[in-house]
Amino acid sequence: MVDTPHLDDINLPSDLRSKSRAELKHISDELRAEVIDAVSVTGGHLGAGLGVVELTVAIHHVFNTPQDKLIFDVGHQCYPHKVLTGRRDRIRTLRQGGGLSGFTKRAESEYDPFGAAHASTSISAGLGFAVASDLDGRNDHAICVIGDGALSAGMAYEAMNNAGALDKKLIVILNDNDMSIAPPVGAMSHYLSKLVSGKPYRSLRKLGKKIVGPIGLEKPVKKMEEYARGFAMGGTLFEELGFYYVGPIDGHDLDVLVPVLENIRDSLDGPVLVHAVTQKGKGYEPAENASDKYHGVSKFNVITGEQKKSVSNAPSYTKVFGETLTNLARDDEKIVAVTAAMPSGTGVSTFSEAFPDRTFDVGIAEQHAVTFAAGLAADGFRPYAAIYSTFLQRAYDQVVHDVAIQKLPVRFAIDRAGLVGADGPTHAGSFDVAYLGNLPDMVCMAASDELELARMILTANEVDDRPSAFRYPRGEGVGVEMPEILTPLEIGKGRIVRDGGSIAILSYGTRLQESLKAAEMLAAQGLSTTVADARFAKPLDHDLIRQLADHHEVLITVEEGSVGGFGAFTLHHLAETGRLDRGLRIRTMTLPDVFIDQDKPEIMYEQAGLSAQHIASTCISALGRGDVEALKLAVV
């Protein structure tokens, strides 16, 4: 029995290559315990990583990383990989400010050849590496690890189709942790997988081609062989795409994984798909027993598995969306909800409990989700497409071509607007104000609190002649009172929240609370400030903007979005109406033109220059008083 610790001896994957199978098993056990302990401190994506511990160990043992390229799809499962690739000493900084990213990241390590966080990119990227290796005359391997969920997206099949046609060296490992494709895994399938991945079988196969080729039987015999293997092991679909299929195999059995991967490494002459069946949350009982397999967790007690939840009296914006849409749908049978593999994250799960037949989770397929919603809208239904801002980017052509040009009333519920904290720049909702606001006839709204969000959901339901969108952030609302009876907003009309004198702050979204704090800071300096909630980026409230511009020395716009959004629309209108020629001092406050790394949201907004302090300082600077530092001292 091996009972001495081994993980302490592993600083880089090269240290794994001389280890025996018994030692690899022991290292895997220690690695699983290390990941559990680390995530209990940091929070993060746990279940997926626990499911690929043995697979990650086997890949680094068999292949010569980083020369051989290991590409994880999405990256939820990359924590064990980070521990093995020289980052164990920083693993407890996962998803923290200045720490390790929760996903693969090229700037972090040479063992992360391709950054990820959105699904279904690994096979395309891996094919790029495979072609580059071939063009350079190298003999590197490209290994892509993709989950069965990510394999639901069309991009994965586009890549596989291309890879099959190019016939380049490419290894795709399907990490099937839901048994969504695989038949039961048993001794016979393991035996067959070892057999067909090995040199003797591949040599016999090549010999058979030489024999039947001259007599014109190569194609029919090839089909017979493919279908025979497909019948015995599954995988006919992948064979049709040009991949040599191996599996299904037990993704936790190193006695199977290692020889199969070695066989593929040594006899590979084209694209291969290895079908590995794994268990999400493997080896940690609380995760194994949880419905979500601890996919994403907050900090937790390792012994009990109990997660530490934040306590707040205010509901989350996501919950407000789900409950408001559900209540609205009770009186409107035409309302349907569409989401792309994020029912819980978007609040659609609440709607689904009440209206399962009117809820459609299309999988990781945002492009399809948008055009599917467009089809529903074209036939008289009221679809709400609930998609994170960062994921809606993937369907922009469909938003333009299939929705906007046809003026179809799809309602886009855009969750995770603005900066999102621990998930970092890959998940930030930075660009939707700009990329939706430039589309003709689109109605664009941003909620400043949970009540405003609820009213915007009602407003969108009444927009039946064009598309509409409303954005809201991750996390809890501000705790405003929610009345029993809600009323929709007047399209294109904002509101004055605080009356003042020389300074006007026009906020779009949830920076309204920071804008009100800034007004208090300015009041302490004897400066009277008007604060307005724009509500709409399109159509703009021209009357409100005109009022603010004509009666104040300074106008500041504030938004949780990139350059080119609400502030740009406001500037364009003021320029068109000649108000910029009258001495108005205007500043636009946006997210900076950089990608901001993960941290606590309040720290990220401080770094972005969008805190109350920054808003107040910008107002002072625009007045030209020269006493910005005095304001800072007064605030302190």
Q: How far apart are CA 293 and CA 302, in angstroms?
A: 15
Instruction: Please write the tens of the pLDDT for every residue from 69-100.
Output: 999 999 999 999 999 999 999 999 999 999 99
Instruction: Please write the tens of the pLDDT for every residue from 133-179.
Output: 999 999 999 999 999 888 888 899 999 999 999 999 999 999 998 73
Coil/strand/helix, residue 402: helix
DSSP 8-state symbol, 418: B
Q: Residue 123 in contact with residue 144, Cβ under 8 Å?
A: yes
Q: What is the CA radius of gyration of the chain?
A: 28
Whole-number pLDDT of residue 105? 95
Whole-number pLDDT of residue 579? 83
Cα 323 to Cα 128, 223, 317, 358, 599: the distances in Å are 44, 53, 10, 15, 29
- Planar angle of CA 151, 155, 159, nearest 5 degrees: 95
Q: Where in the chain is the domain with CATH 3.40.50.920?
A: 495-635
Q: Please measure the distance between the N-terminal and C-terminal CA atoms of the chain and give it in whole angstroms.
A: 62
DSSP 8-state symbol, 307: B
Q: List the one residue out of 300, 306, 312, 426 whose CA is nearest residue 42.
A: 300
Cα 439 to Cα 407, 556, 576, 611: the distances in Å are 10, 24, 19, 30
Whole-number pLDDT of residue 38? 96
Q: For residue 30, with 0-12 CB atoms within 10 Å meaning exposed, 13-18 middle and 19 or more buried, which class applies?
A: middle
The fold adopted by the segment(s) 7-289 is Rossmann fold (3.40.50)
* Domain 495-635: CATH class, spelled out: alpha beta
Whole-number pLDDT of residue 52? 96
Superfamily (CATH H level) for 317-471:
Thiamin diphosphate (ThDP)-binding fold, Pyr/PP domains (3.40.50.970)
Whole-number pLDDT of residue 177? 86
Whole-number pLDDT of residue 210? 54
Whole-number pLDDT of residue 227? 46
Q: Where in the chain is the domain with CATH 3.40.50.970?
A: 7-289, 317-471
Whole-number pLDDT of residue 219? 55
Q: List the one residue out of 6, 41, 40, 39 whose CA is nearest residue 20.
A: 6
Q: Which residues of the chain have pLDDT under 70?
A: 1-5, 179-235, 311, 625-636
Q: List the one residue out of 490, 514, 478, 497 whose CA is nearest residue 612.
A: 514
Q: How far apart are CA 112 and CA 106, in angstroms?
A: 5
Residues 6+ apart with CB under 8 A from 356: none
Whole-number pLDDT of residue 578? 87
Whole-number pLDDT of residue 44? 92
Q: What six digits make up the tokens of 570?
A: 């406001």
Whole-number pLDDT of residue 635? 46
Q: Residue 218 in contact with residue 226, Cβ under 8 Å?
A: no
Q: How far apart are CA 494 and CA 138, in angstroms?
A: 61
Q: How far apart are CA 178 and CA 280, in angstroms?
A: 8
Q: How far apart are CA 609 and CA 589, in angstroms?
A: 8
- Annotated active-site positions, please? 280, 366, 394
